[in-house]
Structure 1
Amino acid sequence: MEISHSDRDRRSSADSAEPTPSRHTCHCGKSFIRKEHLRRHQATHGERNFVCPICQRSFTRNDLLRRHLTRHDMPTAPDPRRGRACDACHANKTKCDGGTKCTLCVKRGINCTYKHASKSSSGSKSPSEDTADPRTVANGFTSPALIQNLTPGTPQISPNDEIKAGFKRIANHVRSGEIPIGEDTPVPALDNNWIEGNSKEYFGRFHDTWPLLHGPSYVTMETSLLVSVSIAMISCWLRSPDEFEDVVLQLHESLMSAFSDWIANPRSRHEYDEPWPFETYQAILMNIIFAFYHGNERLVSKASLLRGTFVVALREAEFFNSDNAAEQQRVHYPGTFVPWLMTIRDRWKRLIVSLFKIDTYLSIARFQAPTLFREEIDLTMPATYSLWNAYGLNIFFKRITLEPTDRSNFKLSEVIANPNTPAKPLLLFEDIHLALCGLLPAIWNQTQIVRRSTEAGRSTQNATSSLAWQLEAWKADIERVKHQCFHAAEIGEFPFTAYIGDYDEDPVRAKALAMSNIKCLISECLMTYHLQGLQLYADPRMINSVAMASTVSPDHEAGKVEELCYTPSRFFVNANQISKQTSPKPNPSTPHPTSPSQ
């Protein structure tokens, strides 16, 4: 587990006289202060010898397998080392040297207790007995507010009640400032199990459309609390929105307010020499996307405002500049191990790409000009979904040989601006979708010009025709890649192989999930195509105003809408297609990217 900024600050304040310990570096470039953390990390580079008997997923460490088994509601064998560590070391998952006061507790100046060890050895534990000492929290520092003590007589609560209590507790800590924004605060041990157990829906449904996080390296205890709790929040809402609606929105609004305050606090230029608070950026974007999916008018409005200030803040940090990103990687994430370098590089790319997508969606939904422009996307084409979701180094090195290496030679901004790009043979649905999103500034601007020109009696047909041609050219690419994928699925070639995710040990299941992912991406591309066409051939803002305010009959209202269309026939074609795209489908595998707010 890497050491966060807050953890370093606490340790230095507890024992400022001690010299800074030397770091232990792995061959992949990651470094750790404690040697046992390095050994635990190095195990992730080894063979996956621990296999789940239910889903056949493999792990490099036995403790990860035992934690994973809780997702299947399976009992796990007791850890033979459990109970030997003091409470603080157990909560922090670090090696304890024992004694009346272990070395770690002495350094941190906290009480060294063995309540957990004695309860583990007794062989009978209740949920209340398994709760850590309130004076010693998950990350090993004194903060009584982070853990509420449960008395021995407290009855066992249901899993859903535990989740709700956890969401409420974290929401309160966010509001009070006990969970700081901009720092990689670790997940407290008290919350680890329920947060860990509520990531399935996120990675199973949300992640395919928004592959923002690197799933293979995601470990709850090594990920920022802001990211982990956002994953749990989205998962619970996708699984059971009625059950968790209130607590999810309570947490979401607390996070959004804290994010807004943090972004609004200006930072001096020299602070940008520090590592970008990447996981905070990811958590902000995840919550903006969640608000759009939820569709509540007030939440979407807040998300739209936060999106604007977030883009400006990233511009101020020169986040969109590829040279700055390369410098960040060289200084703060050094190394030569290929999987490590790819992960750091592509998480930057995918955050920008996801921000570009949600900016387009919010702009269309709010009848606004976009905030982020394709010309700002100073990055090369990202790695494929397949390489980004390679679970295990053996899988990664197998898939990298199938990767179209020429993709890294093309600037994404140039590719998506040119329907006749030389990179056409390398295009995937994600690239085409970004190209459709990139047309929004020109379409929005054209809508304003047409509105003014129509009032003045001037013709603007030429400009509209140019944009219409670009839309149709990209739609033809959707059909071309669709045909290639369906054909390549039979022989296992690119571009179909670009969408293989997990489950390499089950090729049939992997193929079915890849095909499902492809169909969702096709739907996403076509939806964006028709929405852009709707805006190009009509003025959606005026049509929306008529629909909201009109009290006339439906037949007369339809005639009024036709008057507001620049090209009525094309408008109704796109409107009809959007209606088909958004019609309910049984058991959707993923939430549709644009349906909530349209």
Structure 2
Amino acid sequence: MPPRISSDTVGPPFQCSYPGCRAQYRRKEHLNRHVANHAQGDRFSCPYCERTLTRSDLLRRHIWNYHPRKQPLPSRTRKACSTCHIRKQRCTGGSPCNACQRRGITCSLTENGNAQEGCNIDKNINNLQRPPDIQVGSALSKSNINSFSSSDISRWVAHDYIDIYFKNFHPVWPFLHPGTFDLSKEPCILIQSIVMIGLWIEGGQNARDVAVDLHHKLCTAIRAQMDQWFIPESGSPQNTSTSWPMATYQSVLLHVIFALFNAKEQKLPGLSLRYPLQPDEYELLVRLVQSCRRLGMFSYPNMLARHGPTAPLALVWVNVEEIKRFGLALYKVCRMCTPSDSTGGDINDAKRELLGLHDLSFCMPDSDEVWNAPLSVGSEILQKVASQTNLRDNRDSKGWISQTSTVLHDTGVAFDWI
């Protein structure tokens, strides 16, 4: 029988390589668990108190010991929440998950750790040959554009195409705020409009056919419910107490941009190098411009009047930036299109019914870096930016974009150059 080797003569084979640490372990898994304590990565916050722990198993043990009446976290995350999936971040599960808790936003995970059904997001779109039967028109005939139930939404809406939107389309048209975009809370009309753009950008013929079909159905629904978002001439102008349906307006703008994509594919631009829109699509654009004008949306004082004196500065900054960027995107679209039946003689009439520089009574937007920052990083920056005094003074009307119209436009000069 071989002699027994004393445990005192054999040293631990696994040593911690962290600078200044001399910890040693006999088993590799024990060393790995110890090394995790040195890491500066994810921390696991207790959803029931302010305690923060370094490992998920310690968090579950903490909840078991100190919050016995609470439901413990699941040992594994079966599905990432909507926000973490869009940002391609690790989701720890729970209700809410750690990432959403740090950001202070609503998490799409329910108490049992499963994702809630919002617009029936289905990541796997394997068959795009046949456009889905969305039945948006019948759904909207009974309810508001922004509130129809998930049962009326097709299951083909996919995270992948939302990712494509923010990766490829958003850098060119940055009028949605990525940091506060929450898939579980956004209106379905906006989500499907975003997916429509993602399908088109994907480039495959089948995907584009689905995008075109979705565009036609959603535009029909938007027009059918125009009384819910269009501000008629008899409405109260510049009324800041009237709600601004930004999500619907953003959706309408996305559909007009999509119509320009189609026009570019099918038609040559006119002599003014503008692309002609079909009458119903052009009417949608005109109605959007009219509504924004009558609400006074693009007036900086009206933007501020929507918020009380105690509103957080970061919230005010995001909302003002969102309207600014939406206004500039809408102006850009108005500069790119014309009615399909227009002639050279009535181009000035078309210009007057669309958005012009004189409508934009605000300064240029602020930092792109802050606007595009993830909320987990950008929230601290937002607080600093919103409280800075060296930003553009939006209150000074001399710095508003509308002031340039007096220099760049003359009623006696019809040259369409800007």
TM interval, shorter chain, is: 0.5 to 0.7
One-letter amino acid of the counterpart of residue 368, structure 2: Y
In structure 2, the CA distance between the partners of 1:413 and 1:200, relative to structure 1 (3 Å rule), is farther
The structural deviation recorded for 1:269 is: 3.6
1:532 counterpart = 2:410: no
After superposition, the CA RMSD in angstroms is: 4.9
One-letter amino acid of the counterpart of residue 446, structure 1: V
One-letter amino acid of the counterpart of residue 358, structure 1: V
Cross-structure match for 2:212: 249
Cross-structure match for 2:367: 384
Which of 391, 398, 411 matches 1:406? 391
In structure 2, the CA distance between the partners of 1:274 and 1:65, relative to structure 1 (3 Å rule), is same
In structure 2, the CA distance between the partners of 1:185 and 1:278, relative to structure 1 (3 Å rule), is farther
In structure 2, the CA distance between the partners of 1:66 and 1:181, relative to structure 1 (3 Å rule), is closer
CA distance in 2, matches of 1:447, 1:211: 31
Q: Which stretches in structure 2 are left out of the alignment for 5+ residues? A: 1-45, 57-76, 96-107, 268-274
Cross-structure match for 1:344: 319
In structure 2, the CA distance between the partners of 1:188 and 1:209, relative to structure 1 (3 Å rule), is farther
The structural deviation recorded for 1:194 is: 3.8
In structure 2, the CA distance between the partners of 1:196 and 1:338, relative to structure 1 (3 Å rule), is farther
Cross-structure match for 1:168: 132
Cross-structure match for 2:37: none
After TM superposition, the structure 1 = structure 2 runs for residues 26-37 of structure 1, keeping only pairs within 5 Å, are: none
After TM superposition, the structure 1 = structure 2 runs for residues 184-583 of structure 1, keeping only pairs within 5 Å, are: 184-185=147-148, 194-263=157-226, 269=235, 273-295=241-263, 296=266, 300-301=277-278, 302-330=280-308, 335-363=310-338, 368-369=347-348, 370=351, 371-398=354-381, 405-409=390-394, 414=399, 416=401, 439=408, 442=410, 446-447=413-414, 532=417
CA distance in 2, matches of 1:323, 1:283: 25
* Cα pair 1:216 1:391 within 8 Å, conserved: yes
* Cα pair 1:346 1:383 within 8 Å, conserved: yes
SS class of match (2:225): helix
* Cα pair 1:70 1:197 within 8 Å, conserved: no
In structure 2, the CA distance between the partners of 1:68 and 1:218, relative to structure 1 (3 Å rule), is closer
In structure 2, the CA distance between the partners of 1:179 and 1:385, relative to structure 1 (3 Å rule), is farther
The structural deviation recorded for 1:345 is: 1.5
CA distance in 1, matches of 2:243, 2:163: 30
* Cα pair 2:321 2:365 within 8 Å, conserved: yes
Identity of aligned residues (%): 17
TM-score (norm 1): 0.43
Q: Answer with 341-350 or 291-300: which moved more.
A: 291-300
CA distance in 2, matches of 1:237, 1:364: 23
Q: Deviations over 1:456-483 (max 9, x none)?
A: xxxxxxxxxxxxxxxxxxxxxxxxxxxx
CA distance in 2, matches of 1:413, 1:203: 34
The structural deviation recorded for 1:239 is: 0.7
The structural deviation recorded for 1:72 is: 11
Cross-structure match for 2:11: none
CA distance in 2, matches of 1:70, 1:394: 17
In structure 2, the CA distance between the partners of 1:394 and 1:292, relative to structure 1 (3 Å rule), is same
Q: Deviations over 1:116-164 (max 9, x none)?
A: x9xx9xxxxxxxxx9xxxxxx957xxxxxx99xxxxxxxx996232x77
* Cα pair 1:374 1:413 within 8 Å, conserved: no
* Cα pair 2:140 2:225 within 8 Å, conserved: no
More helix by share: 1
After TM superposition, the structure 1 = structure 2 runs for residues 115-134 of structure 1, keeping only pairs within 5 Å, are: none
* Cα pair 1:292 1:303 within 8 Å, conserved: no
Q: Deviations over 1:74-127 (max 9, x none)?
A: 9x999689xxxxxxxxxx85558xxxxxxxxxxxxxxxxxxxx9xx9xxxxxxx
The structural deviation recorded for 1:213 is: 0.3
* Cα pair 2:136 2:153 within 8 Å, conserved: no
TM-score (norm 2): 0.58
SS class of match (2:364): coil
SS class of match (1:168): coil
In structure 2, the CA distance between the partners of 1:399 and 1:280, relative to structure 1 (3 Å rule), is closer
The structural deviation recorded for 1:375 is: 1.6
The structural deviation recorded for 1:377 is: 1.0
